[in-house]
Amino acid sequence: MRVDVITIFPDYLEPLRLSLLGKARDRGMLRVHGHDLRDWTTDRHRTVDDTPYGGGPGMVMRPEPWDAALRAVAGSDGPAPRPRVIVPTPAGRPFTQAYAAELAAEPWLVFCCGRYEGIDGRVVEAWADDEISIGDYVLSGGEVATLVMLEAITRLLPGAVGNAESISDDSFAHGLLEGPVYTRPPEWDGRRVPDVLLSGDHGAIARFRRDQALRRTARRRPELLAALDLDDRDQRVVAEAGTEAEPGGGGPGRAWPAPADEDRAKDEDTAAPAG
């Protein structure tokens, strides 16, 4: 995949040399090109912004440097395929795991990192394929949002992550948040790892993880449950979660799929009837 990022702060892209993204670049899976928008200005002050029409606070990024930069980077005609041009903005469509998968299938992405009050709307209308928001909050520019999206996208490139199960079990991959995770030692600070995780019973472990994922999702992101096909056991767990206090700690992590049919049947045979 080729990625071009247009920004007035190219140094913001330095984290793309680290960790997973850096390895993907070293392996040739990801080619990243940073571009300084000011290289396409025409005045001695390298001006990229001006006051907004209609009044109001702040400054707006001028259309001329953006148009020149996009023509140089993305091109406007010719036989080569045009890239997908993305503008990070809090006014955009929400970024999701499904959106990341959609973008990971593209051969070429161009990110336009706005600043101040944003990019002149005529540029967005003329060039942007997507306006994307990473959350309901405001940042100083599009660079951080671009880094967030690129990490999510790069993880989905074939071969970028060594263990494919790390991708298939990610949060939201199955529509649920992951429950707490544990490692050695089995007891720490008077707190034990749940016995089921040490039992070696893969069916019971799968059910336990599914239940924990359902509880966490019900408490923290209940709107995600509406899109899922929940069996009777799942629904009981979700109903019980609504009466339990939310425990602290733990990040979103991965999601866990429903147990295999035979494990589910075994579990339902031994489960207490709903009261």
Q: Which residues are catalytic?
A: 90, 117, 155, 170
DSSP 5-47: EEES-GGGGGGGGSHHHHHHHHTTS-EEEEEEGGGG--STT--
121 is in an annotated binding site: no
DSSP 118-158: -B-HHHHHHH-SEEEESSSS--SBSHHHHHHHHHHHHHTST
138 is in an annotated binding site: yes
Contact 194, 207 (CB under 8 A): no
135 is in an annotated binding site: yes
Handedness of CA 83, 86, 87, 93 (dihedral sign): positive
Residue 103's H or E segment, with its range, is: helix 97-104
Contact 231, 258 (CB under 8 A): yes
Crossing angle of the two packed helices 232-241 and 261-270, in degrees rounded to 10: 60
DSSP state letter for 185: -
114 is in an annotated binding site: yes
Burial class (CB in 10 A: 0-12, 13-18, 19+), 18: exposed
Contact 190, 196 (CB under 8 A): no
Which residue numbers belong to the known binding site? 114, 134-139
Detail the residues annotated as belonging to a binding site for S-adenosyl-L-methionine: 114, 134-139
